[in-house]
Amino acid sequence: MATKKKRTPNAHTSSRVVIAADSAIDTQKHDSDPAFVRLRNPATDATSLYMLSGGDLQLFEVKAFEEDFHSWFIGQTVQRDGRLLFVTPMDPLYLILPYLIKSGKEGKFQPVDQVVMDDEFPACSRLLSCTRSLASLHHITEEKEVGTQRFHRYSQERTMNWLKKKVERTVSVLKARNISVGERVKSTTYITMKSESDYRDEDYLRYAHGLVSEYLSQHLSKDLLTHLQLPELKSPKETEPPSKKRKLTDKPVEAEEDYTKFNSAEFARKPPKKMTAAQKSLAKGDKTGMKTMSSFFSPKVKAEKK
Amino acid sequence: MDLSPFETDNSLSCRLTSEIPDVCRTEDCCLGIDEAGRGPVLGPMVYGICFCPVSKKQELKESKVADSKTLTEAERENLFQKLDEARSYVGWALQILSPNTISTSMLQRTKYNLNALSHDTAIGLVQYALDSGVQLKEVFVDTVGPAEKYEEKLSKLFPGIDVTVRPKADSLFPVVSAASICAKVARDRIVKGWAFTEDLGEVDTDYGSGYPNDPKTKAWLLKYLDPVFGYPQFVRFSWSTARTLMDSKGVTVHWEDDDEDGEKSAQRQNNKSMLAYFSAGGNEQKPAQQTHRFFSERRLKSLAAL
């Protein structure tokens, strides 16, 4: 009985299941509650959800585990999507970086609070109050101090070195966590017999680069690849052999192999050992007056021999 | 008949047995198999075997055991009493398949249909008799499905035993009638005294015969339909009566092995149309940016909104 089921869109969701670090929801130290904010995703340029907590001192990214056919039982209620939200710490520099790159094209030293501005995402200025933001700006900019004011200018060179360190750190975590990075293994749920030592360092580097690129614009990701001295992978299309074309020659065409041996009496075809049910039922059929399949191919050869 | 082993957990299948009469271990015996409660949407299905020495067949016949369907409940109880009194030469064993067992068997990923379940239960009971040392020579069975096939299957499984499978065997062979009485009595008692594991408060026990076409049963099913959970474990979820009601009145639940319309599921799984492979990649849409496989393998994604 196949009944049609309609997927109704999420009407209203009342509860969510979130996994967050204690520090993310620590309201003891600071009066303000952690808040979800929408900011520009550095990789996609679209809206993504983040969380600022502890009076905007800490930035967290929000990722959702989402798979078909999952639901929650929460207390005495049912939550229809089986979503599991992860709130994990994030380096605010990744989000600040696109703004600095944009203004860096002007080549001027500017105060950051004038750079990190976005009409679409007004909350982005709050990123600057994170503990790690101002203190680590030197990783991606050159700094000048005039009196009490600080001025910054985007530096590609510094950024690349910073990102390289990020990649290297990621590699060490990947190794420590035993994460399979080889091309051969497509899913972590499959057990691979390949031991960790079999992976080349390049595999790790490439994997880590991909992971860091999740937080970078495509352009920057490419630059980083060059900086890491990793050759760009060829797309499968380029590796595909060129489509074959028949060569034109004046010489008579001859078969490359001798197929006539199949017509000789010595060549006895072995009967198939077992037949499937379908083959059996076919074999039972009345075949009188029917030509065999091979008869369509053989007569001309025989005629020539005579 | 002590039903307490089943009643301690009525979600499971349970075997109840009489003591094996000593004569059955020494003399050639005949055995009858029958079931009660195959059709109802409510309550367990009970499989029963009854066995006695071939020499005592006449005595069993004289006790006027007859097809349980032709008897009133009181008459059945009465006859069961008689069988119990004849325990010096009559033995029985029951396999109670809880409605929960039936539901989970029929609705599991690899479907286990009611006929297969019935056959396996019957086989299990015969094996029990053999294992207990009953000298089986003849087995009489009321058929489930085509009689010849069933007979062939049982004969193969139990070489050396004369297996007779007949429709209406319960009215032809006294030993089958006796088995049918044991099964029917057990089922009646279980249904009457069903202890609901669910917290339903005062349960209305006026559910009629339990057969899908009984108006009382239908009314009861309508009354006890929970939009989220469906029914208490007393109901066989796999019965179309229950399923239709749950589909129309309950919340829609999607399972991973649901049959979906081809096109819709393809769309959901982001499958490409076959035609897409033939066009020379002209209208191939480049994905905005593919999430790194670290995230896609873990089903993690960024959110734009909660």
The 10 Å Cβ neighbour count of residue B45 is: 25
DSSP code of A60? E
Q: Has residue B240 been placed in a domain?
A: no
CB contact under 8 A, A65 and B261: no
Q: Identify which of B185, B40, B32 has the alpha carbon closest to the alpha carbon of residue B102.
A: B40
pLDDT at site A306: 42
CB contact under 8 A, A2 and B259: yes
Residue B102 near residue B231 (C-beta atoms within 8 A): no
- What are the distances in angstroms from CA B303 to CA A6, A78, A93, B306? 24, 22, 20, 7
CB contact under 8 A, A66 and B304: no
Q: Has residue B93 been placed in a domain?
A: yes
CB contact under 8 A, A16 and B306: yes
The set of residues, in sequence order, having a beta carbon less than 8 Å from that of A106 and lying 6+ positions away, is none
Phi, psi dihedrals of residue A109, rounded to the nearest 5°: -80, 130
Give the pLDDT confidence of A39-95 residue by residue, as tens digits: 999 998 899 999 998 778 889 999 999 988 899 999 888 988 889 999 999 999 999
β-partners of residue A20 are: A87
C-alpha A47/C-alpha A49 separation (Å) is 7
Distance from CA of B191 to the nearest CA of A (A): 28
Interface check A65 vs B, CB under 8 A: yes
User: What does the block give as tokens for A158?
Assistant: 């510094």
C-alpha A4/C-alpha B258 separation (Å) is 10
CATH number at residue B87: 3.30.420.10
CA end-to-end span of chain B: 59
Interface check A1 vs B, CB under 8 A: yes
C-alpha B144/C-alpha B115 separation (Å) is 7
Q: Identify which of A97, A150, A149, A95 has the alpha carbon closest to the alpha carbon of residue A123.
A: A95
Residue A140 near residue A154 (C-beta atoms within 8 A): yes
User: What does the block give as tokens for A216?
Assistant: 């970078």
User: What does the block give as tokens for B293?
Assistant: 């496989």
A6 residue type, one letter: K
Q: Has residue B26 been placed in a domain?
A: yes
C-alpha A268/C-alpha B16 separation (Å) is 63
- pLDDT (tens place) for every residue of chain B, 306 residues total: 778 888 878 888 899 999 898 888 998 999 999 999 999 999 999 999 999 998 888 888 877 666 666 788 888 888 888 888 888 889 999 999 999 999 999 998 888 989 899 999 999 999 999 999 999 899 999 887 788 888 999 999 998 899 999 888 888 888 998 999 999 999 988 888 888 888 777 778 788 888 888 899 999 999 899 999 999 999 999 999 999 999 999 898 888 887 665 566 666 666 666 776 666 554 444 445 578 888 988 899 998 887
B214 residue type, one letter: D
B206 is in an annotated binding site: no
Interface check A68 vs B, CB under 8 A: yes
pLDDT at site A278: 74
For an interface test with B, the pick among A36, A41, A63, A85 (most B C-beta atoms closer than 10 Å) comes out as: A63
pLDDT at site A192: 53
β-partners of residue A40 are: A47
- What are the distances in angstroms from CA B268 to CA A6, A253, B109, B265, B271? 13, 51, 21, 5, 8
Segments forming the whole domain that contains residue B58: 3-193
Regions of chain A where pLDDT drops below 70: 1-14, 27-31, 183-199, 233-249, 253-255, 258-275, 285-288, 298-306
User: What does the block give as tokens for B88?
Assistant: 């010096």
Question: Which residue bears the tokens 């940016």?
Answer: B289
β-partners of residue B214 are: none
Interface check A78 vs B, CB under 8 A: yes
Q: Has residue B186 been placed in a domain?
A: yes
Q: What is the pTM of this model?
A: 0.72
How many domains, chain B?
Answer: 1
Q: Has residue B248 been placed in a domain?
A: no
Which helix (DSSP H) or strand (DSSP E) does residue A31 occupy?
none
Question: Which residue bears the tokens 């502890």?
Answer: A54
pLDDT at site A253: 66
Q: Identify which of A37, A130, A43, A42 has the alpha carbon closest to the alpha carbon of residue A87.
A: A37
CB contact under 8 A, A63 and B303: yes
The set of residues, in sequence order, having a beta carbon less than 8 Å from that of A114 and lying 6+ positions away, is none
Q: Which of residues 178-207 of A touch B (CB under 8 A)?
A: 179, 186-188, 207
User: What does the block give as tokens for B279?
Assistant: 């066009």
User: What does the block give as tokens for A31?
Assistant: 């009066």
Task: Dihedral sign for Cα A215, A221, A227, A228, please.
Answer: positive
B67 is in an annotated binding site: no
Q: Has residue B91 been placed in a domain?
A: yes
pLDDT at site A283: 72
B35 is in an annotated binding site: yes
Q: Has residue B203 been placed in a domain?
A: no
Q: Has residue B274 been placed in a domain?
A: no
CB contact under 8 A, A36 and B294: no
The set of residues, in sequence order, having a beta carbon less than 8 Å from that of B254 and lying 6+ positions away, is A5, A7, A68, A69
Residues of A with Cβ-Cβ distance to B293 under 8 angstroms = 186, 210
CA end-to-end span of chain A: 64
CB contact under 8 A, B303 and A48: yes
